[in-house]
Amino acid sequence: MGLTDQVDQTRAIRFLAGFTEQFRNQMSEMAVSYNINIITGSMPLLENDRVYNVSYLCHRDGRVDEQRKIHITPHERRDWVIEGGEKFQVFDTDAGRVAIMICYDIEFPELGRLAAIEEVDIIMVPFWTDTKNGYLRVRHCAQARAIENECYVVITGSVGNLPKVENLDVQYAQSSVFSPSDFAFPHDAVMAETTPNTEMIMFSDMDLEKLKLVRNEAR
C-alpha cells in the first residue's frame, strides 16, 4: 500500500489487492518446493468489485484452500470497504484438521465452537494490531478458544513500523502457540511465544495425540 497514493484508502487497498494472486501463487510454490504446509498472512481479495480479507492454506502437494474473514472491523468496513465472508471451514491436512480465523474472528466464540464440532486440531490466527491492548484482546480470546475447545491455537502478527502507510504505520504483536489447560500441556498453556514486538522465527511441536487424550478424559 505504501507504493500508491494514501489519500484515498479505498483505492489503496484495491491497489494492494492487485498483488494477491502473485502472493498466493508464490506462497504455494514455496510450500511445494520446501515440502511444508503454509498458512499465509491475510490479503485483500477483489472479486466482482467487492473486497474481502482472505488467508490461504497452501498444501505441500500444491492444493490451495482459502478462508475469508467473517467478522469485519469498523475500520476495515469504513476505510477500506471490506466485506465479510459467508463460509467458515475446517480443512484436512496431513498434519491434522486446521481452521483459520483472521484477527477479529478469534474474538467470537461461536466460530470456535463450529470448528470444535468439526474436530479441529489447530486454529491459525493471522492478525494485525497497532496497540498492546488491541493485541491483548486477540491473545486472551485465542487462549480462551484453546481452553474451551481443547485444541491448539497459533497467533501470528506483524511487527514494526510502516510510516508511509495510512492506518498501518504502527504495529504491535507477539506470536504465540496456545494449548488446552490440562496436565498434558505446559502449566500456563503456552507452548511457545516470541519476544514481544520483535521480528523472529518461532518453533513449536504440537502433539495431536495429547488432544485426543484430554478430549477423551473430558467425556
- Is the pLDDT reported for residue 218 higher than 70? no
pLDDT in tens, 44-97: 999 999 999 999 999 999 999 999 999 999 989 998 999 999 999 999 999 999
Residue ranges of domains in the chain, CATH in brackets: 9-218 (3.60.110.10)
For the record, the C-alpha cell of 30 comes out as: 514455496
Q: In 3D, which of 59, 53, 58 has the Cα closest to residue 17?
A: 53
Mean pLDDT, rounded, for 169-177: 93
What is the C-alpha separation between 208 and 201, in angstroms, rounded?
22
pTM: predicted TM-score of the whole model, two decimal places: 0.94
Q: In 3D, which of 65, 74, 127 has the Cα closest to residue 99?
A: 65
Which stretches of 35-94 are DSSP H helices?
74-75
Bridge partners of 83?
A: 52
